[in-house]
């Protein structure tokens, strides 16, 4: 079978297709326009020079993200349609991320060296791909179920890259001492930028869940990635999970108590990472002295770099940009632990996907505000911030679910080959599109990674 046929065969076998979208070409047409336009909207205010930045091998330039997401549609869909002519013969090599089944890839750490194709040429490439996809989407008689399945996969893939566009750009901007502002934040009415006058977050509480045999993984005909399947059962013991995320103020207590200098809280690899890299706080945090210097010392004040600019650390906002090592160390210091991904999924079952997402345009996790209508007490409804704001580290290693089989062909390289040496995160972030998330969604990063909007939720045995 061809690469595209392998991809479709696996989709049908493991997860089914989104019947609502697949059988409604108008709906799929509208979603395609919306997702593709969103990628362009995210970089509409950037200067040309901003598109080229690559501060490290694990991030990519904005220009590359725009091209790669078009490459995906061209490679897995359009090249298998009659009479399609590739936009450029070298683009298959330049914008292939890691698909060995497709062919060789341009070195990842050299993407920032590609001044050509220009930004305008990449946008022309996107337009070229869109014109041909629109033709397929507008012709009800010729659009096949296999093609609609591939389009849905490609749109979910592009939404992943939309989040990376924001987090990669933030990392790239952070090396500039001018601290460029990506956008002006659209804060909720109850929260003003750099304001410390908001009401304090309520004290942390732990909500208990009973143990037993639970079902895990994706169920139904809606879209999911292969790593969310197959659905299976697992036994859990009674546990308690924190009702909210850890705040900056709470994390500062860990720092101020010498948490980064005490090896008892750290895994061996984590302690080595701290020592080797001189880590003393979350990524993008800065410690400055304020006021008139006294005979003793100045008062230190913490600041942080955001996509919305450089400013004072907001004590009540969720701590973010922490590694798994830091999250685990904080949990040990607090006398707790991180939840397993199964515990997190149990806590999130039948919950509305509500929180701070990319649509808010805050570009940063927001302080939790409890409304008068929300229930209090140890009830399931009291678990908050499960979705959006920050990806939540779990103690679970990223591994295949029981019965998972790595698909043949290129789709097996999408998730399967990364199931080693990484940790699972759940819940999404302030940079994730809301309709991209599910309670079964499994994100994964290496334990030292922290350029994503990653945060901390605690748990404990009951």
Contacts of 443 (CB under 8 A, 6+ apart): 391, 424, 425, 426
What is the predicted pLDDT for the residue at 299?
Answer: 63
Handedness of CA 234, 239, 245, 248 (dihedral sign): negative
pLDDT of 101 strictly over 90: no
Of residues 12 and 283, more confidence is placed in: 283
pLDDT in tens, 250-270: 999 999 999 999 999 999 999
Residue closest to 15 by CA, chosen among 202, 152, 204, 199:
152
Helix (H) or strand (E) holding 267: none
Rounded average pLDDT over 51-76: 97
What are the start-end ranges of the H helices in 314-388? Answer: 324-333, 341-348
Contact criterion met (CB below 8 Å) for 394 and 426? yes
pLDDT in tens, 413-455: 666 778 899 999 999 999 999 999 999 999 999 999 999 999 9
| Structural domains of the chain, ranges and CATH numbers in brackets | 3-173 (1.20.120), 206-461 (3.90.1580.10)
pLDDT classification of 410: cutoffs 50, 70, 90? low
pLDDT classification of 295: cutoffs 50, 70, 90? low
What is the predicted pLDDT for the residue at 285?
Answer: 98
Handedness of CA 396, 397, 398, 402 (dihedral sign): negative
What is the predicted pLDDT for the residue at 358?
Answer: 96
Find which of 227-236, 290-299, 375-384 is predicted with most confidence, using mean pLDDT.
227-236
What is the predicted pLDDT for the residue at 24?
Answer: 56
Distance of alpha carbon 197 from alpha carbon 315, whole angstroms: 10
Distance of alpha carbon 205 from alpha carbon 328, whole angstroms: 19
Rounded average pLDDT over 105-132: 97
Helix (H) or strand (E) holding 156: helix 145-173
pLDDT of 4 strictly over 50: no
Rounded average pLDDT over 388-410: 90
pLDDT of 377 strictly over 80: no
pLDDT classification of 220: cutoffs 50, 70, 90? confident
pLDDT in tens, 266-276: 999 999 999 99
Sheet holding 423-426, edge to edge: 443-445, 423-426, 391-397, 454-455
What is the predicted pLDDT for the residue at 371?
Answer: 59
Neighbours of 100 (CB within 10 A): 11
CA-CA distances (angstroms) from residue 83 to 87, 89, 310? Answer: 13, 15, 51
Strands 391-397 and 423-426: what pairing?
antiparallel
pTM (two decimals): 0.90
Rounded average pLDDT over 367-393: 76
Rg (the chain; Cα; Å): 23
Residue closest to 136 by CA, chosen among 50, 188, 78, 178:
78
Rounded average pLDDT over 78-105: 93
What is the predicted pLDDT for the residue at 418?
Answer: 83
Rounded average pLDDT over 7-21: 41
Distance of alpha carbon 187 from alpha carbon 195, whole angstroms: 11
Distance of alpha carbon 11 from alpha carbon 154, whole angstroms: 12
Contact criterion met (CB below 8 Å) for 80 and 136? no
pLDDT of 379 strictly over 70: no
pLDDT of 117 strictly over 70: yes
Of residues 13 and 297, more confidence is placed in: 297
pLDDT in tens, 136-174: 998 877 888 888 889 999 999 999 999 999 999 999 999
Residue 35 tokens read as 């997702």
Half-sphere exposure in the Cβ direction for 287 (13 Å, CA): 10
Distance of alpha carbon 300 from alpha carbon 302, whole angstroms: 7
């Amino acid at each position: 079978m061809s690469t595209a046929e392998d991809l479709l065969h696996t989709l049908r076998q493991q997860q089914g297709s989104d019947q609502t979208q697949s059988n409604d070409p108008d709906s799929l047409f509208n979603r395609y326009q919306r997702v593709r336009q969103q990628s362009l909207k995210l970089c509409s205010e950037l200067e040309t020079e901003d598109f080229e930045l690559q501060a490290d091998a694990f991030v990519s330039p904005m220009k590359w993200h725009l091209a790669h997401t078009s490459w995906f549609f061209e490679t897995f869909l359009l090249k298998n349609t009659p009479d399609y002519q590739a936009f450029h013969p070298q683009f298959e090599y330049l914008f292939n991320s890691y698909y060995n089944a497709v062919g060789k890839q341009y070195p990842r750490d050299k993407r920032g060296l590609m001044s050509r194709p220009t930004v305008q040429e990449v946008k022309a490439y996107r337009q070229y791909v869109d014109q041909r996809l629109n033709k397929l989407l507008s012709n009800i008689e010729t659009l096949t179920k296999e093609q609609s399945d591939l389009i849905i996969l490609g749109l979910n893939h592009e939404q992943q890259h939309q989040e990376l566009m924001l987090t990669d750009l933030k990392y790239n901007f952070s090396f500039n001492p001018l601290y460029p502002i990506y956008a002006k934040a659209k804060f909720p009415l109850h929260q003003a930028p750099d304001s410390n006058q908001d009401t304090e977050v309520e004290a942390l509480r732990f909500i208990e869940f009973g143990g037993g045999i639970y079902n895990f993984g994706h169920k139904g005909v809606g879209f999911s990635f292969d790593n969310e399947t197959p659905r299976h059962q697992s036994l859990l013991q009674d546990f308690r999970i924190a009702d909210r995320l850890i705040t900056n103020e709470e994390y500062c207590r860990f720092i101020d108590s010498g948490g980064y200098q005490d090896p008892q809280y750290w895994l061996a690899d984590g302690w080595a990472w701290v020592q080797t890299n001189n880590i003393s706080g979350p990524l993008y945090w800065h410690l400055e002295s304020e006021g008139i210097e006294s005979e003793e010392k100045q008062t230190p004040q913490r600041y942080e770099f955001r996509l919305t600019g450089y400013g004072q650390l907001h004590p009540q906002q969720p701590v973010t940009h922490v590694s798994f090592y830091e999250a685990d160390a904080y949990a040990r210091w607090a006398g707790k632990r991180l939840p397993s991904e199964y515990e997190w999924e149990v806590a999130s079952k039948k919950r509305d996907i509500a929180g701070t997402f990319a649509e808010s345009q805050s570009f940063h996790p927001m302080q939790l505000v409890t409304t008068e209508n929300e229930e209090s007490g140890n009830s399931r409804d009291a678990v908050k911030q499960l979705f959006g704001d920050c990806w939540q580290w779990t103690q679970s290693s990223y591994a295949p679910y029981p019965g998972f089989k790595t698909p043949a062909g290129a789709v097996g390289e999408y998730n399967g080959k990364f199931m080693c040496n990484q940790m699972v995160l759940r819940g999404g972030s302030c940079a994730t599109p809301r309709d991209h998330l599910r309670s079964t969604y499994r994100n994964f990063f290496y334990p030292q990674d922290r350029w994503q909007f990653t945060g901390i939720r605690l748990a404990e045995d009951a």
